[in-house]
Amino acid sequence: MNLIFEEAIKEAKALPDFTGTDDSVVRLRLGAMITNPEIIRLFKEIGDETLSSFSTEDFRMVRCVMDGKQMPKALNSRIARLVDLGVLERVDRRRFVVAQKYYQAIGQSGKYTRLRGISDKASMELLCQHMRNENNRGLHLIEFAQVLPAYSPRKIQRLLNVLAKKGKARITGKTKGAKWYLIDSELTIN
């Protein structure tokens, strides 16, 4: 069974479907269409030597990352190994991307940059720049969401709190009425 899963993943085909299986009958549907050609190129770049050490769970983990899907918690034990092998890179506590060298090898370095996102430092610079552009008039949290639309309000709040702890921003008010101000418009983030 593992071999069927591994081959389906390596060939970038749909995973086996057991819909209709019960205690007396096994129904197995195998997809023939290639769903993501990048996966085939990626596995070629990883190389046979490294792939020979992969378990079925390793293949599934890489497939989940490439497809941008949530990784099953049962596979969490495999993450450290794939990071140590240099196949995956950690973006934050819960998010991973395939290593940059593989995206470069398959001609998708721009996709890597997009998936990896920008650093917290760069995000804080954008928040400061937005406050400067608005003449430091005091901005509500919701206004910062326009600058970093991919970030949750909670993440933006965390970045603003870091700026405040560094003495680069201050807040007045509470809850939705709170406004953020840049303390010194000439500061840069270190």
pLDDT in tens, the chain (190 residues): 678 878 888 787 888 888 999 999 988 888 888 777 777 788 888 888 888 888 888 888 888 888 888 778 888 888 888 999 899 998 877 788 888 988 888 888 888 888 888 888 889 999 999 998 888 888 999 899 888 888 889 999 999 999 999 999 999 998 888 999 998 755 455 5
Q: Is the dihedral of CA 157, 155, 139, 123 positive or negative?
A: positive
pTM, rounded to two decimals: 0.61
Helix or strand holding residue 96 (H, E): strand 96-98
Helix or strand holding residue 102 (H, E): helix 100-105
